[in-house]
Amino acid sequence: MSVAAKRLAAVDTSASQSNQHEVTGSKVLLRILGEQTRSFPRGGADARFEATYIWLGAEQEALSEEGKLSWYDSRAKDPKRSAEWRLYYQTNTITDMMRPGDTLFVAHRPDDRLFFIVTPDGTTIQSQLLWLFGLSEQPGLQFEQRELTPDTSGELDFAARYILDELGLDPDEPEADMLDGLIAPFGLTFPTTRVFSHLARKSLPGLSARDEPDATLLAWMEREELMFRRLERRVVAERIANGFLSAGDADVEGFLGFSLSVQNRRKARAGQALENHLEALFTENGIRYVRGAETENRNKPDFLFPGQQEYRDDTFDPARLTMLGAKSTLKDRWRQVLSEATRIPEKHLLTLAPGISENQTDEMRAKHLQLVVPKRLHDTYRPAQQEWLMDVADFLKLVARRQVEAQFSPGL
């Protein structure tokens, strides 16, 4: 797949008299889309590209719309002038939201379909896409390109799969036969998340939660995600094969309800899986903790160290208390942890979200929230952010040290 990106100028986002828009191409875009005119001539066949328009906003809110894209030389009828290729796009919900300074990604898939993706400047999803496609942190007004091939992209890692999932794209599943063997005992029924998490860890016996906690946590999560998606594909295929009918008519509400349940299950299980694997990590490292302990106003932080009893003991030094929120994805939900344990002034939040925007991490720092991210994902953040990030190993050392200090000096 070929990808190009540029920062939109005012001329790229101004409506024309025909109520359509166009982006001036470049040599980069010409290499991707070719020198063949792809338009809708009068009386001729529609040669335009099939396209999916996608808007990904500040908190990763997403909109998409199907449509067409034309690619043509605006100077084709003037042989005395050099070619000037333009990408001509329809007015729709996505293009109406574009503003100068936004980043436009144009992706040309092997099946000849185009993705027309727009993200506001400074957003998390912009950072994630720029990292995924190996492009500049701040694209210029001219397109720059990256070619993604099996030789250059390799097997998608956790971060890449995360971002593609945000785009609503399902990458190919590696090691399908092995995954089928793992999930075979479940048939077409989802086990509890704890059972699934345990199986994921058991299937990776060579990992060390003590020596390599960062890599181990990511490997456990990735294995469980692949197992879950494989089983989900079977369950959904079976349900679709049975059809959605009610009294002989199409059961639209039944279909919509089933689709919503699939999405909700994905989100809920990802968060539960992360907490399950963190529990295993803490246990393997001899860390005392309580999952879901209750604090003020019935708040329930995901993890409290060393425990709820110490938290409620006014004589226990708050400097030796730690709380950790755990969220596989963030969006705007990170603010929820700020009020979950008032005795602890500096809070910690572990996430698997790659490339969170500097705007968000700056706000976290200002609110005394320390972000914990597995080491392998640090490269998806900008250098200034990486200096501040904490990895899983460092967090384990922190709570272990506080645990030892509390044993030798339990009171104030």
Domains of the chain: 2-148 (2.40.330.10), 175-284 (3.40.91.80), 290-408 (3.40.91.80)
Whether the predicted pLDDT of 207 surpasses 60: yes
CB 352 within 8 A of CB 328: yes
Count CB neighbours of 355 within 10 A: 23
Q: What is the pLDDT of residue 159?
A: 67
| pLDDT above 90 coverage of the chain, percent | 37
- Give 197's Cβ-side CA count (13 Å radius): 20
Q: Tell me what the mean pLDDT of segment 287-302 comes to.
A: 93
Q: Which residues are bridge partners to 2 per DSSP?
A: 108, 147
When mean pLDDT is compared across 103-112, 239-248, 278-287, 304-313, the lowest value belongs to 239-248
Count CB neighbours of 222 within 10 A: 18
CB 213 within 8 A of CB 376: no
* Per-residue pLDDT tens digits for 179-194: 888 888 888 888 999 9
Q: Tell me what the mean pLDDT of segment 153-168 comes to.
A: 61
Whether the predicted pLDDT of 215 surpasses 90: yes
Q: Where residue 16 falls among pLDDT bands split at 50, 70, 90?
A: very low
Higher pLDDT among residues 209 and 147, named by residue: 209
Q: What is the pLDDT of residue 20?
A: 53
| pLDDT above 70 coverage of the chain, percent | 85
Q: What is the pLDDT of residue 31?
A: 86
Using CB atoms within 10 A of its CB, is residue 330 exposed (0-12), middle (13-18) or buried (19+)?
Answer: buried
Q: Where residue 375 falls among pLDDT bands split at 50, 70, 90?
A: very high
Q: Tell me what the mean pLDDT of segment 377-404 comes to.
A: 94
Q: Which residues are bridge partners to 146 per DSSP?
A: 3
Whether the predicted pLDDT of 85 surpasses 90: no
* Per-residue pLDDT tens digits for 223-238: 998 899 889 888 888 8
Q: What is the pLDDT of residue 166?
A: 64
Q: Where residue 139 falls among pLDDT bands split at 50, 70, 90?
A: low
User: What mean pLDDT value characterizes the chain?
Assistant: 84
Whether the predicted pLDDT of 19 surpasses 80: no
Using CB atoms within 10 A of its CB, is residue 358 exposed (0-12), middle (13-18) or buried (19+)?
Answer: middle
Q: Where residue 388 falls among pLDDT bands split at 50, 70, 90?
A: very high
Q: CA-CA distance, 318 to 321, in Å (whole number)?
A: 5
Q: CB under 8 Å to 254, separation ≥6 — which residues? A: 244, 246
Q: What is the pLDDT of residue 409?
A: 66
* Per-residue pLDDT tens digits for 296-332: 989 999 999 999 999 999 999 999 999 999 998 877 6
Count CB neighbours of 343 within 10 A: 14
Q: What is the pLDDT of residue 154?
A: 37
Higher pLDDT among residues 62 and 136, named by residue: 62
* Per-residue pLDDT tens digits for 230-273: 898 888 888 887 777 776 677 777 777 777 777 778 778 888 99
pTM above 0.75, yes or no: yes
